[in-house]
Amino acid sequence: DIQMTQSPSTLSASVGDRVTISCRASQSISSWLAWYQQRPGKAPKLLIYRASSLESGVPLRFSGSGSGTEFTLTISSVQPDDFATYYCQQYNSYPFTFGPGTKVDIK
Amino acid sequence: EVQLVESGGGLIQPGGSLRLSCAASEFNVSDDYMSWVRQAPGKGLEWVSVIHRFGNTYYADSVKGRFTISRDTSKNTLYLQMNSLRAQDTAVYFCAREGNGFDLWGRGTLVIVSS
């Protein structure tokens, strides 16, 4: 199985900050990586697919990059709605696996 | 509106069985790859199972042999039959449509396995 790791596990930020979350796969997954945002008590929401493609309706301040085993999610200017937990997920092969999550909270 | 609505969760004793349902609106579950993903209380996301357009199924090792995914095209509904339930199966269960990533999720249904 492909293991996914994320760093940091928690990140404190102020509104307007640039935020970067890293995700690493235990083996190459090409660009078969998605990023999700999850608010408490809600279902995850797809933000980025194929490592760098922005899902329809997602604000342009979100961007993704990387390929192979190293990936990054960037929020260019954090807004109040962005304080949530973020997960990466590989869909290169079954079983699909998620990273453990990065919680972005208010500094 | 395109949506997924799960039902069937509840409190069940260890060793018991439960069937979850996921009703789809405005698209056909048989035309897409459909998955179940779960989230234990306070924990991360865990993929559970998928059924492909042509009926192929795959399972996480943690549920293989105990859970069965299926669909009813006449009801446009996805199912997850869960047998031999364990305390570790306690979670919110989401159904999700697989495209490039999971692009559509239901709100989830809570399963609690406890005596």
Q: pLDDT value at position B18?
A: 98
Phi, psi of A69, rounded to the nearest 5 degrees: -125, -10
Give the whole-angstrom CA distance, residue B9 versus residue B29: 20
Q: pLDDT value at position A16?
A: 96
Which band of pLDDT confidence, cut at 50, 70 and 90, is reported for residue A107?
confident
The chain-wide mean pLDDT, for chain A, equals 97
DSSP B19-54: EEEEEEESS-GGGSEEEEEEE-TTS-EEEEEEE-TT
Q: Is A38 left (phi over 0), alpha (psi -120 to 50) or beta?
A: beta
Give the whole-angstrom CA distance, residue A64 versus residue B18: 39
pLDDT, tens only, A2-49: 999 999 999 999 999 999 999 999 999 999 999 999 999 999 999 999
The Cα of B23 is separated from the nearest Cα of chain A by a number of Å equal to: 16
Give the whole-angstrom CA distance, residue B108 versus residue B98: 16
Tell me the chain B residues in contact with residue A92 when contact means C-beta distances shorter than 8 Å: none
Tell me the chain B residues in contact with residue A99 when contact means C-beta distances shorter than 8 Å: 44
pLDDT, tens only, B13-67: 999 999 999 999 999 999 999 999 999 999 999 999 999 999 999 999 999 999 9
Judged against a pLDDT cut of 90, whether residue B99 lies above it is answered with: no
Q: Which of A32, A39, A87, A96 to mutate to test the interface with B (most CBs of B within 10 A)?
A: A96
The reply to whether residue B94 touches residue A43, judged by beta carbons under 8 angstroms, is yes
User: Which of B44, B94, B106 faces A87 most closely, judged by CB atoms?
Assistant: B44
The reply to whether residue A46 touches residue B103, judged by beta carbons under 8 angstroms, is yes
Nearest Cα residue to B74 out of B18, B28, B22, B19? B28
Give the whole-angstrom CA distance, residue A90 versus residue B46: 12
When pLDDT is averaged across residues B60-77 and rounded to a whole number, the result is: 97
Q: What percent of chain B has pLDDT over 90?
A: 98
